[in-house]
Chain A
Amino acid sequence: MKETKRKKDGRQSVSYAKWGYIFIAPFFLVYFVFTLIPQFLTIYNSFFETYRDGLKQIGPNFVGLQNYITLFTPDADGIIRILKYASNTMIMWVAGALPQFVIALLLAIFFTSYRLNIKGQGFFKTVIYMPNLIMAAAFSMLFFTLFTRGGPIQMYLAETGAINQTFDFFSNRVTVRGMIALMNFLMWFGNTTIVLMAGIMGIDQSLFESATLDGANAVQVFFKVTMPLLMPIFVYCLITAMIGGIQMFDVPQVLTKGNGAPDELSRTLVMYLNGYLTNKNYGMAGAISVIIFIITGILGGIVYKMLSAQYKDPEQK
């Protein structure tokens, strides 16, 4: 490179390296301005007391780790809110993700089974993937209108006697969380099915054939051949789903009008963050952001490890 940089004949260099920098520059510039600086600002804010008291602006005053301490100190009701919201988030995520992965695995196997030879796969896939593209806010609003008191489903169930006339889906912990989990399940199981299916199809078909000829039945083939080979993709799906779960916001926010009813039992971490953001309590919002950042950072690190493993040896791809 140094040789031509001298530009012996005074004309352009034949080195193409500079084009690499030029082509990636917009990405890094934008990332720096719109993500990296905000990220640092967020962390910076978490060490300051900054909030509005009525019309009065308090702070910013440097308070060190006070915001974090406050976050993990029981409030007047004796509740550590962040832990409560974290457990809400986790419960609702698990309630949606468990059926999501079980069903997705089952469907992926149905679709790839040579023996079953499922017809109309295109149609089925189109239908089950569709909810993934639906605006979460709209989906949630739809659930609200359908299940609210006087809404068609609530009325129908009350008429048939399945529920009490006065039953309110939105004042019951189980039904609210259940609806949120159901929506998350509906929105994501199709996506997971398709990814896992691609994973199964990526496995050398002859392995299944030889296992079958070796006398393995369908269940044995699944546990002894399919699952071990599918593991990397399965884990990747699971972790990205977890990262998505931590971000759970639109659905519960719209469904409960942002209050996490009943009794804040459907309030998620990001709803908590959003609350402080809209109140302009930037100190607390910063501290929550940092905590979410750390959790997703750890999970994202695992995903990164998995993705870069396939890049370690590009020749062997």
Chain B
Amino acid sequence: MNKHMSQNTKGMIQLFILRFFAYAILIFLCILCLFFFYLMVVNSTRSNAQLARGFSLLPKEHFLENLVNAWNDASINIPRGMLNSLIIALSTAVLTTYFSALTAYGIHVYDFKFKKLAFTFIMAVMMIPAQVSALGFVQMMNKLHLNNSFIPLIIPGIAAPVVFFYMKQYMESVLPLEIIDAARVDGSNEFHTFNTIVLPILKPAIAVQMIFSFVSSWNNYFIPALLLDKAELKTVPIMIAQLRSADYSKFDMGKVYMFILLSILPVMITYIILSKSIIRGVTAGSVKG
């Protein structure tokens, strides 16, 4: 009896140590993740002079001032950049999800001769990064006078293998072919079936993928930087990089932190509201065990 008790106590102590260890690691990592962003937010509330004085974890009262300064900055037109990025990211998100769902539907539902080939092709090119065709892409867009245009940043979103793959996986789990048959018998044509029956069923997947494609378009730096050189067309990441290359010492640092804050703000707000479904969306579409 006594021996049992001590065994049990031993187990409890063991578990306590394990838990302590686990929580300590988790809390440390969370602090690490938040620390830099916390500093960013705090620093965006401090004036240039306050910042020059040194490190502080406490916010000050210059937030609005910095915001106004950043918003009205002459060389970095952040409101314009945010608008540009918003237009590109929203259009990309809509096109990517709609056409990926359409493509996945075409392959999921219909039987045709080149179906297997089409699927294999998309899977095979899924991992090829955009950088390796960037040269030809930029060259071609210059030839077509589409540099300094949003078209080459938006339209290619129609062909997004990763989103396609996600949609295909999702359809396999939620879309019974009988429903499509039922719609056919009910007199719905194929496009109508896709738009009124299938899209609503895919809503959760579309929502998640819209967020992901919005975010990756919003954050995209490499290709836009090669295409856009007109000031009024520049996107947020280009402006941030510009900030880095500018003569740094002359800058109002409070404003710089505000720029950085503004550049990640739309994504952060979306994330805070929808973090649950975003995290759930991360896992689908990868290899299953």
A residues near B, CB below 8 A? Answer: 16-24, 26-28, 30-31, 34-35, 37-42, 44-45, 103, 106-107, 110, 115-116, 118, 122, 124-131, 133-146, 148, 150, 152-153, 155-156, 159, 186, 189-191, 194-195, 197-199, 202-203, 229-230, 232-233, 236-237, 240, 243, 246-247, 249-250, 253-255, 257-258, 270, 273-274, 277-278, 282, 285-286, 289-290, 292-293, 296-297, 299-301, 303-304, 306-308, 310-311, 317
A38–B125 Cα distance when bound, in Å, is 14
Q: Which residues of B contact A130 (CB under 8 A)?
A: 33, 268, 271, 275
Q: Tell whether, in the assembled complex, residue B132 and residue A293 are in contact, meaning their CB atoms are under 8 Å apart.
A: yes
Assembled-state Cα–Cα distance A148/B256 (Å): 13
> Complex: how many Å from CA A28 to CA B161?
10
Which B residues are in CB contact (< 8 Å) with A285?
A: 135
Contact B221 A137 (CB under 8 A): yes
Stretch among B1-9, B65-73, B110-118 lining the A interface: B110-118
With A145-B256, A307-B287 as known contacts, state yes or no: A34 contacts B137, CB within 8 Å: yes
A45 touches B139 (CB 8 A): yes
From known contacts A26-B158, A150-B52, infer whether A138 and B30 are also in contact, taking CB-CB under 8 Å: no
Are A308 and B133 in contact (CB-based, < 8 A)?
Answer: no
Tell me whether chain A's interface is mostly helix, strand or loop, or mixed: helix
Bound Cα distance from A24 to B110, whole angstroms: 10
Task: Name the residue of chain A whose CB is nearest to the CB of B271.
Answer: A133
Q: Which residues on A sit within 8 Å (CB–CB) of B263?
A: 135, 137-138
Contact with A along B34-64 (1 / 0, CB 8 A): 1011011001000000011011100000000
Q: B18 in the interface, Cβ–Cβ < 8 Å?
A: yes
With A16-B110, A146-B36 as known contacts, state yes or no: A277 contacts B138, CB within 8 Å: yes
Q: What are 7 A-B pairs at a CB distance below 8 A?
A: A22-B190, A103-B29, A124-B26, A138-B264, A191-B282, A243-B129, A292-B129
What range describes how many residues of B lie at the interface? 35 or more
CA distance A150 to B55 in the complex (A): 10
Q: How far is the CA of A67 from the CA of B53 in the complex (A)?
A: 52
Q: How far is the CA of A214 from the CA of B138 in the complex (A)?
A: 61
With A124-B26, A191-B282 already in contact, the answer to whether A250 and B237 are too (CB < 8 A) is yes
With a cutoff of 8 Å between Cβ atoms, the chain B residues found around residue A115 in the complex are 15, 18
Q: Taking the complex as formed, is B126 at the interface, i.e. its CB lies under 8 A from any CB of chain A?
A: yes
Decide yes or no: A138 and B136 within 8 Å by CB, A195-B283, A292-B131, A296-B127 being known contacts: no
Chain B residues contacting A230 (CB-CB under 8 Å) are 289
Could you mark each residue 4-32 of chain B with 1 if its beta carbon is under 8 Å from any beta carbon of chain A, else 0?
00000000000100110011011001101
**Interface: B236 (CB within 8 A):** yes
Interface, chain B (partner A; CB < 8 A): 15, 18-19, 22-23, 25-26, 29-30, 32-34, 36-37, 39-40, 43, 51-52, 54-56, 99-100, 102-103, 105-107, 109-115, 118-120, 122-140, 152, 155-156, 158-159, 164-165, 172, 190, 194, 215, 218-219, 221-222, 226, 236-237, 240-241, 243-245, 248, 253, 256-257, 260, 263-264, 267-268, 271, 275-276, 278-279, 282-283, 286-289
Residues in B whose Cβ lies below 8 Å from that of A303: 126-127
Given the interface pairs A110-B22, A194-B282, the reply to whether A17 lies near B129 with Cβ below 8 Å is no
Q: Report which of B26, B156, B219 forms a contact with A135, defined as CB distance below 8 A.
A: B219
B126 and A254 contacting across the interface, CB-CB below 8 Å: no
* Contact A254/B240 with A17-B112, A233-B289 known, Cβ cut-off 8 Å: yes
A289 touching B131 in the complex, CB below 8 Å, given contacts A17-B110, A141-B244, A144-B244: yes
Q: Tell me the smallest distance from the CB of B85 to a CB of chain A, in Å.
A: 9
For B122, list chain A residues within 8 Å (CB): 27
Across the interface, name the chain A residue whose C-beta is closest to B18: A116
Given A24-B106, A135-B263, A30:B112 Cβ within 8 A: no
Cα-based distance from A159 to B152 in the complex (angstroms): 49
Most A C-beta atoms less than 10 A away, residue of B110, B115, B124, B135: B135
A155 CB to closest chain B CB (Å) equals 5
Residue on B nearest A196 in the bound complex, by CB: B283
Quick one: which of B111, B135, B253, B289 contacts A286, CB cutoff 8 A?
B135
Residue pair A310, B287 in contact (C-beta under 8 Å): yes
Asked if A135 contacts B286 (CB within 8 A), the reply is no
The minimal Cβ–Cβ distance linking B119 to chain A, given in whole angstroms, is: 8
Given contacts A20-B112, A37-B140, A286-B135, contact A240 B127 (CB under 8 A): yes
Besides the contacts A20-B112, A186-B33, what 19 more A-B pairs have beta carbons closer than 8 Å?
A: A18-B112, A21-B112, A22-B106, A34-B156, A41-B140, A116-B19, A122-B276, A130-B33, A133-B278, A135-B219, A135-B240, A141-B256, A142-B37, A142-B260, A156-B55, A194-B283, A195-B283, A304-B123, A311-B119
B289 near A202 (CB under 8 angstroms)? yes
Q: Which B residues lie within 8 Å of A159 (CB)?
A: 54-55
Chain A proximity of B149: nearest CB distance (Å): 13
3 closest A-B pairs by CB: A23-B106, A41-B136, A300-B127
> Which residues of chain A come closer than 8 Å to B40, judged between CB atoms?
142
Please, which residues of chain B bring their CB within 8 A of the CB of A44? 136
Nearest chain A residue, comparing its CB with the CB of B132: A293
